[in-house]
Amino acid sequence: MAKTTRKKSGRVRHWRTAANSDRHELYELSVQGTESDCAFIDRVFRQRQHRTPHSLREDFCGTGLLAREWVSWRNTNTAVGIDLDPAVLRKGRERIASLPLAARTRIQLKKGDVNKVRTDPADVLVALNFSYFIFRTRAQLLEFFIHARQGVAAGGMIVIDAYGGSGSWSIGEEERSLDGFTYVWHQARVSPITHEVTNHIHFRFPDGSEMRRAFTYVWRLWTLAEIKELLIEAGFHAPVVYWEGTDRKSGEGNGVFKPSRSGEACEGWIVYIVAEN
């Protein structure tokens, strides 16, 4: 439920409104789960590589929330985040400034195109929240995976995610009530021919105000088979899809992702895909 404060007049004032909210903060609160991402990366890396991962490169890092979480996760961890947009990087750097000094020295946000920037090879390269769906042809996605592979150390891993299911092909809005605001996922356009989709994120507030189209994504909805094939073409080994288990009581996802060969025909799913260099 939205937190509210009571004015002296007795009128209730809502603490979040479209006018006083930062869309990047709302985005982080709505769609990012960086603690569970770090736990997943750590667990799967140890299982597959039999050692502890330390260096992480976050492509399409936005405000670099995952990179920040990673350097706080273990005091030997380092992170490099890459994004094209100077405005999100500015936000990210402001937040890095509030990390303890020891963590601050182990994180760097770089402005650049993920397909051009060169970095020291990392144990793990991540591209989450479907950011690589901006590549809308096979050739473009292959180019991204080839470039990403150059950023992964030998014996390292790429970790990406993907979504799908019958519901991803329908037009409509899905609302989720969060801390003082409502997150709205709006699937506005889907093309069964090109597999292109246009999705928006809107934020609505208890005072009736709205931040419409706070974010818009024009993506290709890639299938898991295509993604696995392209990872192999780019030189990665053994791509594995990690499918989320189901909570028996609620029927919803339980947050536990395990390797799966076939998945399940459900309305909506999100998976991690992991491949080795």
Ligand X SMILES: C[S@@+](CC[C@H](N)C(=O)[O-])C[C@H]1O[C@@H](n2cnc3c(N)ncnc32)[C@H](O)[C@@H]1O
- Residue 249 makes CB contacts below 8 A (sequence gap 6+) with none
> Does residue 197 bind ligand X (CB under 6 A)?
no
Residues in contact with ligand X, counted by CB under 6 A, come to a total of 16
Residues 28-67 that bind ligand X (CB under 6 A): 31-32, 60-62
Residues 235-264 that bind ligand X (CB under 6 A): none
Instruction: State which residue, 203 or 206, has the beta carbon closest to ligand X.
Output: 203
Which of 14, 39, 74, 85 is close enough to bind ligand X by CB under 6 A?
85
Element (H, E) at 150: helix 138-150
User: With the C-alpha atoms ordered 109, 114, 118, 120, is the resulting torsion angle positive or negative?
Assistant: positive
Instruction: State which residue, 29 or 190, has the beta carbon closest to ligand X.
Output: 29
Is residue 275 within 8 A of residue 152, CB to CB? The reply is no
Binding mask 87-106 for ligand X (x = CB under 6 A): -x------------------
Residues 110-169 that bind ligand X (CB under 6 A): 113-114, 128-129, 131, 134
Is residue 114 within 8 A of residue 134, CB to CB? The reply is no
CB of 31 to ligand X, least distance (A): 6
> Does residue 83 bind ligand X (CB under 6 A)?
yes
CB of 262 to ligand X, least distance (A): 27
Instruction: State which residue, 96 or 206, has the beta carbon closest to ligand X.
Output: 96
CB of 256 to ligand X, least distance (A): 20
Element (H, E) at 153: strand 152-164
> Does residue 69 bind ligand X (CB under 6 A)?
no
Task: Count the neighbouring beta carbons within 10 Å of the beta carbon of residue 89.
Answer: 21
User: With the C-alpha atoms ordered 163, 166, 171, 177, is the resulting torsion angle positive or negative?
Assistant: negative
Residue 80: exposure state from Cβ atoms within 10 A (0-12, 13-18, ≥19): buried
For 196, the 3-state DSSP assignment is strand
Order the strands of the 237-246 sheet from edge to edge.
107-111, 78-83, 55-59, 122-127, 152-164, 269-276, 237-246, 253-260
Pick the piece of the chain touching ligand X (CB under 6 A) from 6-14, 77-85, 173-181, 192-200: 77-85
**Residue closest to ligand X, measured at CB:** 62
Instruction: State which residue, 31 or 103, has the beta carbon closest to ligand X.
Output: 31
Could you list the residues that contact ligand X (CB under 6 A)?
Answer: 31-32, 60-62, 82-85, 88, 113-114, 128-129, 131, 134
